[in-house]
Structure 1
Amino acid sequence: MSSTRSLRPLTQSLRPLHTPLRTINPTAFLGLRNASTDSNNQTITTNASGNPQLTWDGYFNLRKSRRRINLVSSVFTATVATLSGGGYLSTLEFSAAQNFMGIDMPMVMGLATLAIGGVGWLCGPILGNGVWWSKVRSQLGGKQGEDLVKQKDRDFYHKLVKYRADPRMQSVSNPVPDYYGEKIGSVADFRRWMKDQKAYKKKVEKFV
């Protein structure tokens, strides 16, 4: 009787070995393993077909990071261009009495330095996008993650075209609110943007 009782815990501990193992979708596993998270929201999920897809929250977070990186890159390239261009122009010899198209040469040199800095600012997104895409590929699993972001870019553009107000209805004093959706940084912002577009359409139709 005691031997039977002593064997019972052993048989109970062996019982889970006979339970069937659950199969794991390898695509979903790889997607979640390489996904970045923000506030416990997954960047990549799988749809009903088992294919990976980028969530809207994850997409908008990536858009925010792209803006930040491009801004930092523009500041960097503008600073380098201004210092380099200004340093080179300062080595040129000219007479203070000289002028260019009626403008004093010191002012011409200052304007030229500002122009060089402006060109450097415009070149910033070229560097920034390169850095951002390398970051996306490292976070989202290489080329697959890049394709997911590009697909989401197309989806987002189609939604903007579908829901935004007709630009032909705008005027100088009453432009379409956020026509390109640059202020959209989350799903809540997109819903607010849709409400603004709808309200704008009603407002314009009321006065037509």
Structure 2
Amino acid sequence: MLTPTSTFALRLAGQGAARASIARTIACPYSTTSKTSTPTGRPIGLAPSSPLARSSAVFSSSSPILACVVRHQRNASTSATSPAASQKSAFPTAAQQGDRLDWNTFFALRKSRRRWQLGFSVVTFGASFVAGVLPTGVADPLVSQVPLDPFITLGLMTMSFGALGWLIGPSVGSLVFYTLNKRWKNQMTVKEKEFFARIKKNRVDPSVSSVGNPVPDFYGEKISSVAGYRQWLKDQRAFNRKRVTFV
């Protein structure tokens, strides 16, 4: 945005350029050669010694002061808009870097999820076991139809309830874990696919295992860090080396 002083200077410069172009086109009607008149460099109707005439001469179209004023205004407007644009462009990058899931964080979250699953397995096992013990009167018609001792039948039913609760526990634990870590759910799914693809690619052939050379963690369940994954790769290479050299 131009200041009042800059606007006034631009108007005076435009008037001076217009008068100069008119003066150059004036020629003598009684002569065969055109005669160019010299512009006065001051506004029409102003005395040479007036302040407006002097300011018009200073802010002419070829004056370096006018160019300096315009350049200063342009640089000021550009510098005012540049920081805001750079901040807007920097925010998405910072957010993307902050939400990116690396491998160490993935293994830490994977270990935490396994603990949640184990904890809920214990809880659901206990709840199901108690639920299988309490309704003994309800199960009497079923117990009488089974050709076994009633204590054995009730024991099998109670253990079946407990096993069912143990199997339900990991699903409940995963649900609670992903509820508490919603922003990592999609990235963990992608990382798990990539992780199991690497496990499948680098694990050994279990058909050539033996008692003296067992398969080292076929599914990679014991891997809990990047260092653990590297150790797992070393164990796979050691298995193949022992299979060939028997050492």
* TM-score scaled by length of structure 1: 0.69
- Deviation of 1:99 (Å): 8.6
Stretches (4+) displaced over 6 A: none
**Which one is further off, 23-32 or 127-136?**
23-32
Q: Which residue is equivalent to 2:125?
A: 78
- Deviation of 1:162 (Å): 1.7
- Deviation of 1:115 (Å): 1.2
Q: Deviations over 1:93-121 (max 9, x none)?
A: 47x9x7944x3111220121011100110
- Deviation of 1:158 (Å): 1.2
Letter in 2 for 1:183: K
**1:124 paired to 2:169:** yes
Letter in 2 for 1:107: I
Unpaired segments ≥5 residues, structure 2: 1-78
- Which of 116, 122, 136 is the matching residue for 2:181? 136
- Distance verdict in 2 for CA 1:146–1:26, change over 3 Å: farther
CA distance in 2, matches of 1:107, 1:154: 44
Q: Deviations over 1:3-33 (max 9, x none)?
A: xxxxxxxxxxxxxxx8974545333433466
Q: Which residue is equivalent to 2:240?
A: 201
* Identity, % of aligned positions: 34
- Distance verdict in 2 for CA 1:104–1:192, change over 3 Å: same
Other structure's SS at 2:136 match: helix
Question: Equivalent residues in 2 for 1:151-170 (5 A)?
Answer: 151-170=190-209
**1:54 paired to 2:101:** yes
Q: Which has the higher contact order (CA 8 A, sep 6+)?
A: 1
Q: Is contact 1:99-1:105 (8 Å) kept?
A: no
Q: Which residue is equivalent to 1:113?
A: 158
Q: Is contact 1:82-1:116 (8 Å) kept?
A: yes
Higher gyration radius (CA): 2
Q: Deviations over 1:110-161 (max 9, x none)?
A: 1210111001100111111111111221xx3xxxx32211110111011111
- Distance verdict in 2 for CA 1:167–1:84, change over 3 Å: same
Q: Is contact 2:213-2:239 (8 Å) kept?
A: no
Unpaired segments ≥5 residues, structure 1: 1-17, 34-43, 45-52
- Distance verdict in 2 for CA 1:31–1:88, change over 3 Å: farther
- Which of 116, 130, 142 is the matching residue for 1:69? 116
- Deviation of 1:199 (Å): 0.4
- Deviation of 1:86 (Å): 1.4
- Deviation of 1:175 (Å): 2.4
How many residue pairs get aligned? The number is 164
Letter in 1 for 2:193: R
Other structure's SS at 1:175 match: coil
Q: Which residue is equivalent to 1:30?
A: 95
- Once superposed, what is the RMSD of the aligned Cα atoms? 2.7
- Distance verdict in 2 for CA 1:182–1:90, change over 3 Å: farther
* TM-score scaled by length of structure 2: 0.59
